[in-house]
């Protein structure tokens, strides 16, 4: 079984880079589209709110899960 990072950049990403400065861990770079460094990403979910076209997807969003408690 793979232990994949839960942060996913969807194909619709246009590589605008708007999400890059909002990652507190500097895990995002852009080469035509956003690339998340799985070593740096803590899956905090902050970047998800800053993509204007919802191209960032976090499975089991921890922020939403925390709010449920
Ligand atoms: S994930 Fe969204 S904000 Fe980030 S580069 Fe792609 S389209 Fe732009
Ligand atoms: S989930 Fe958090 S750590 Fe991972 S790329 Fe987005 S803002 Fe950065």
For each of the domains in the chain, give its residue range(s) and CATH number, in order of start: 7-67 (3.30.70.20)
Query: What percentage of the chain has pLDDT greater than the value 70?
Result: 80
pLDDT over 70 (residue 66) = no
User: Over the stretch 16-43, which tens digit does the pLDDT of each residue have?
Assistant: 999 999 999 999 999 999 999 999 999 9
Residue from 13, 11, 14, 41 nearest 28 by CA: 41
What's the pLDDT at 69?
45
> 19-26: long-range contacts (C-beta < 8 A, 24 or more apart)?
19/47, 19/50, 19/51, 19/56, 22/46, 22/47, 22/49, 22/50, 23/47
Closest protein CA for atom 6 of ligand 2: 47
Question: 36 in ligand 1 pocket by Cβ < 6 Å?
Answer: no
pLDDT attached to residue 67: 52
């Amino acid at each position: 079984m793979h232990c994949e990072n839960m942060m996913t950049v969807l194909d619709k990403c246009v590589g605008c880079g708007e999400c890059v400065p909002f990652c507190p861990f500097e895990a995002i770079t852009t080469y035509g589209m956003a690339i998340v460094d799985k070593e740096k990403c803590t899956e905090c979910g902050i970047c998800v709110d800053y993509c204007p076209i919802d191209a960032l997807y976090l499975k089991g969003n921890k922020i939403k899960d925390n709010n449920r408690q």
